[in-house]
Structure 1
Amino acid sequence: MSTDNKVPEIRSKGFSGEWAEEILGDVAEIKTGPFGSTLHAKAYVEDGHAIITTEHFKSGELPVDKKNIPQVSEDDYLRLKAYLLKVGDIVFSRVGSVDINALVTNKQEGWLFSGRVLRVRSGKIIDSEYLHHELSTSRVKKSVVSRAVGQTMPSINTEILKITPIHFPLDTTEQTTIGNYFQKIDALINQHQQKHDNLSNIKKAMLEKMFPKQGETIPEIRFKGFSGEWKNLTLGDLGSVAMNKRIFKHQTTISGEIPFFKIGTFGKQADAFISKNLFDEYKAKYPYPVAGDLLLSASGSIGRVVEYKGEEQYFQDSNIVWLKHDGKIDNAFLKVFYSMVKWSGLEGSTIQRLYNKNILDTEISTPERQEQTAIGNYFQKLDNLINQHQQQITKLNNIKQACLSKMFV
């Protein structure tokens, strides 16, 4: 952005000239929802007209149906018609995440908004889709947050929001072009999010159906060609818990040859290292995972699982453990089990701890090895698809944030 000229760094072809600067209250109508004296929660009904409040758009998106949304009766709806939402309206939270806004689409047209919400309705000189994204830029967000009141729970009102500075091209065609561009990005993000959520729901349902229920030995759904009862065992029947020898802080460096993972960097990027000599010495003397072993967090975020790929790296003693089972169970199947197991006997009030006995005493139901592999591979493919969509969501969100910073003044 050029601060002097008030033009964006990146601009669509064919547009030029400086952008206008106004305060939000001069280009849009801002209205607060009905306060408690006007509408009480006890007046909500099971099947009526939806009314949104702050928790419904913390992600910047509004729900697309009224399921799990507070609803009011026909009489209250008619009485509160001044608080109806129209397509193109923008809603802000009055309390909490005061810098988040969401755009009303035809999915929410005719819904009401609560007293914890501020409605922004753009005037003729500014496109609502454009305004929604202008209000989502880091510059505007910082401006709103900086003027919020309250230490524990930030809050804003119509007067605070009215004086928010905004920038926009006077040519409404340029506004529409920008708005349409971001609308397409949002549509792609939503598509990947829906596929991600659908696959996650499929995974959850199949976890319940492809493993025997408590007290049973045969699952509800099974791959063709497999039969017979599953065996009820404990993890201790399959192997023993292993861990690396403890590494002390004075043995690590901030850079070096072999990455050293503590519980906080487990599954992420190492922030400490040990020497190759120390690594070779400890690897020869003490337990060390083999490629395919599942490393398990035993402290703090209990049950976080990372598959060891065979790299030269070292892990923090008893906080990161694995089941040394010498091939008695398929690791892909074991990973699925880890994702659904509820560890019992955890100790510790502030930071919980999973001890070896907790792990070894954990019950597991297993089929024959070929069926284990088939189940493990099925969920591995599901996880890969879920991760692919999550990566696309992350990538598109990064593109969106970069464009928000360069396509607006």
Structure 2
Amino acid sequence: MYWYCFTWERKKLGDVAEIVGGGTPSTTKDNYWNGSINWYTPAEIGDKIFIDNSQRKITNLGLKNSSAKILPAGTMLFTSRAGIGKTAILKEEGSTNQGFQSIIPNVKLLDSYFIYSMSNILKKYGESHGAGSTFIEISGKELAKAKIFLPSLIEQKYISKIIYSIDDTIQLHERKCEELTLIKKALLQKLFPKKDVIKPEVRYKNFNDAWEQRRFKDISKLSQGLQIAISKRFTHPGDGKLFYITNEFLNPNSTVKYYIDSPTKNVIAEKTDILMTRTGNTGKVVTDVEGVYHNNFFKISYNSSKIDRWFLYYLLNSYPIQREILVRAGNSTIPDLNHNDFYGIKIYIPTIEEQIKIGTFLTKVDSLIALHQYKLKKLKQLKKFLLQNMFI
């Protein structure tokens, strides 16, 4: 590992890079379009680090008759309006519309990935120095005035290598999460029968019997949760306090957690219980959580010798059942599923042995998704720490 101790110098962005705007050829001229020159719009930027294929392309004639310009590979595209600061690096040369102020690094002074790693710094600058009445926009002249601290080019490249390795791993885990989520969606469609079909499309070996028709009233019993006034909720656990499971728990980005005193009635869920929302965002299913459940939830009790917990969990999440739940909850301002509507839903179930096979397999898929999500979270935390501490 190499360590660099040279002083970082404060420079204007315009001193180490050229700032170039874009343009749009006339859309009434057919011979300006469907050419071979990549032409990017802000809507295409933000999901990928490197880009090399635009949704629309222009011709040489379109380029000559507009203010669009050819940008070399290594240029960092920077959206300058209506969402300032979305960035990407050109893998191949291309052009943009007028929604960009693209940054072409002086290759002797500025590394492309180094300036890309400073995207958040430039975004904040653009948002604070932009102007306009209808929408905020940062001009190329103003962006060129942005002052940044730069080490030597060799140190820039070393830092870029570290950040890129993290970004590349983040994208790998994001792709894995997306792929596994699609696989899970397909499995939920194929491992459970479609409406009014007595067998699923995909079966495990040696399981050939038709699934038995039932209704939820035959296999489960509902109990409704408890409404606790906000004034009686606590945001920190304490002696005798129990976790209060509310709608906020369903939001993965929420940091809100409530705790309450032990209730007088039995509205406590254990990890093996299954909860489902009955109003608002009806049909959201959770398990593996302990605490007092809110009035917005049903607890679904079941006979574990006849119904496997995880099979029931994924059955409730399958498309035919979710569709039935939403239809029966109604289209009012606040959808609401009552006991009888839920009990009346027709379902098909296999033997307990096949249920266990299905439930176990799908939990393994979910565990893989959770693993990649955990790694993503840690990698993003590491990147945030490095960006806060490696850049002046």
* AA matched with 1:99: G
Once the 2 structures are TM-superposed, how far is the Cα of residue 31 of structure 1 from its aligned partner? 1.7
| Contact 1:130–1:175 (Cα < 8 Å) also in 2 | yes
| Contact 1:91–1:101 (Cα < 8 Å) also in 2 | yes
TM-score (norm 1): 0.81
* AA matched with 2:353: Q
Once the 2 structures are TM-superposed, how far is the Cα of residue 380 of structure 1 from its aligned partner? 0.7
| Contact 1:58–1:97 (Cα < 8 Å) also in 2 | no
Partner of 1:320: 297
Partner of 2:12: 23
| Contact 1:231–1:366 (Cα < 8 Å) also in 2 | yes
- Counterpart CA distance in 1 for 2:19 and 2:125 is 17
| Map 1:1-400 → 2, pairs under 5 A | 13-35=2-24, 38-39=26-27, 50-59=38-47, 61-62=49-50, 69-72=55-58, 76=62, 83-105=69-91, 109-123=92-106, 124-134=108-118, 136-137=119-120, 139-150=121-132, 153-169=135-151, 171-255=152-236, 256=238, 257-265=241-249, 271-275=257-261, 278-279=262-263, 281-283=264-266, 287-309=267-289, 311=290, 313-317=291-295, 319-327=296-304, 328-340=306-318, 341-342=322-323, 343-347=326-330, 350-400=333-383
| Contact 1:344–1:358 (Cα < 8 Å) also in 2 | no
* AA matched with 2:359: G
Q: Which moved more, 1:178-187 or 1:140-149?
A: 140-149
Deviations along 1:376-407, one digit per CA (max 9) or x if unpaired, are 11111011101111111111111011100100
Percentage of pairs with the same residue = 24
- Counterpart CA distance in 1 for 2:383 and 2:29 is 37
Once the 2 structures are TM-superposed, how far is the Cα of residue 153 of structure 1 from its aligned partner? 4.7
Structure 2 residue runs without a partner (length 5+): none
- Counterpart CA distance in 2 for 1:142 and 1:222 is 54
* AA matched with 1:168: L
Change (3 A) 1:52 1:163: same
Query: SS of 1:345's equivalent?
Result: helix
| Contact 1:345–1:358 (Cα < 8 Å) also in 2 | yes
Query: SS of 1:15's equivalent?
Result: coil
Change (3 A) 1:381 1:55: same
- Counterpart CA distance in 2 for 1:217 and 1:43 is 57
Query: SS of 1:322's equivalent?
Result: strand
* AA matched with 1:144: G
* AA matched with 1:98: I
Query: SS of 2:276's equivalent?
Result: strand
Deviations along 1:3-55, one digit per CA (max 9) or x if unpaired, are xxxxxxxxx853223212222222211222213x5457988978965432212
| Contact 1:259–1:270 (Cα < 8 Å) also in 2 | no
* AA matched with 2:185: K
Q: Which moved more, 1:140-149 or 1:181-190?
A: 140-149
Deviations along 1:56-99, one digit per CA (max 9) or x if unpaired, are 22346355656xx2344686478779534432110112323312
Q: Flag the structure with higher strand content.
A: 2
Partner of 1:5: none
| Contact 2:226–2:292 (Cα < 8 Å) also in 1 | no
Once the 2 structures are TM-superposed, how far is the Cα of residue 264 of structure 1 from its aligned partner? 2.1
Deviations along 1:86-131, one digit per CA (max 9) or x if unpaired, are 32110112323312222223xxx14442332332111131111111
- Counterpart CA distance in 2 for 1:126 and 1:196 is 34
- Point out which structure has higher relative CO (alpha carbons under 8 A, 6+ apart): 1
Once the 2 structures are TM-superposed, how far is the Cα of residue 211 of structure 1 from its aligned partner? 2.3
| Contact 2:248–2:256 (Cα < 8 Å) also in 1 | no
- Counterpart CA distance in 2 for 1:31 and 1:60 is 21
- Counterpart CA distance in 2 for 1:396 and 1:99 is 22
- Counterpart CA distance in 2 for 1:22 and 1:331 is 62
Query: SS of 2:172's equivalent?
Result: helix
Once the 2 structures are TM-superposed, how far is the Cα of residue 253 of structure 1 from its aligned partner? 3.9
- Counterpart CA distance in 2 for 1:27 and 1:306 is 53
Q: CA RMSD in A?
A: 3.1
Change (3 A) 1:87 1:216: same
Once the 2 structures are TM-superposed, how far is the Cα of residue 245 of structure 1 from its aligned partner? 3.4
Aligned residues: 380
Partner of 2:385: 402
Partner of 1:6: none
